[in-house]
Chains A and B, each alone.
Chain A
Amino acid sequence: MEEPSYKFNKIEDKLTFEFDSVSSTKTIKKLIQYNLIDERISLYNLALLDVLPNGGISDLSVSNNDDMPMILSTVFQTVVYFFDKHPVARIYIQGSTASRTRLYQMAIVKYLAEIEQKFKISGYINSGFERFEKGRNYNSFIVSLK
């Protein structure tokens, strides 16, 4: 992806990453974690959280830092890093809300040609997964290396 991304740090030995979303008014810490949710198919869930200024943790906050493309690009960079370490794994992705899932879908569509050079991507719709196609509104996604 050509979008600039934030520098991220890996936390301890776990599959957790952190980076700061920065705007002229505030900085918000973002956390990404990959967790094995189905051993049979080496499926890992990707979860994204915000650490709020009051110390609370949320997956629903709207930071309004006007840097969503940069955040998604950073998430994508962690996906690349993850597959470098776990090439046979698959990643399950669902936004914390329908609108956030829609944001992910828009980002996938924007870079689909580039993404499909390296990854297989499918979407969940109408009670099943199918190969990702533009113009379909998916509830969640699965990504694996080609």
Chain B
Amino acid sequence: MKTQEKLKKEKKIKTYKTVEEAFNVKHEAARKFIQSIDISQIEVLHPTKNP
């Protein structure tokens, strides 16, 4: 029983085959979120500086 519970728990942890795939998923999720909001609020809080 314990083994089954452990297996179920391990199944819940999504793993990726490659580092590139995993990073792409995370970056794409962040990109979609930022595209969905008004970025002017970010510019106000974090104004652009001259390099």
Tell yes or no: A37 within 8 A of B by CB.
yes
Given A56-B15, A88-B51, A142-B45: A38 touches B34 (CB 8 Å cut-off): yes
Q: Are A57 and B16 in touch, CB under 8 angstroms?
A: yes
Decide yes or no whether B5 CB sits under 8 A from chain A.
no
CB-based nearest B residue for A90: B46
Closest-by-CB residue of B relative to A127 is B37
Q: Count contacts on B: residues with CB < 8 A to the other chain.
A: 30
Does A31 touch B at the CB level, under 8 Å?
A: yes
A contact residues, total (Cβ < 8 Å): 39
Determine if A120 and B39 form an interchain contact, defined as CB atoms under 8 angstroms apart: no
Tell me if A94 and B13 are in contact (CB < 8 A).
Answer: no
**Residues in B whose Cβ lies below 8 Å from that of A145:** 49
Indicate if the CB atoms of A57 and B34 lie closer than 8 Å.
Answer: no
Give chain B residues whose Cβ lies under 8 Å from the Cβ of A31. 19, 23
With A38-B34, A38-B39: A57-B15 Cβ-Cβ less than 8 Å: yes
A130 pairs with B23, CB closer than 8 A? no
Q: Is the interface of A mostly helix, strand, loop or mixed?
A: strand
A103 is an interface residue with CB less than 8 A from chain B: no
Interface membership of chain A positions 41-77, coded 1 if the CB is closer than 8 angstroms to chain B and 0 otherwise: 1110101010110001111110000000000000000
Contact of B45 among A16, A37, A49, A129 (CB under 8 A): A129
A40–B39 touching, CB < 8 Å: yes
Chain A residues closer than 8 Å to B30, beta-carbon distance: 37, 45, 47, 92, 94
What is the CB-to-nearest-CB distance from B48 to chain A, in angstroms, rounded to a whole number? 7
Q: State in angstroms the CA–CA spacing of A113 and B51 once bound together.
A: 25
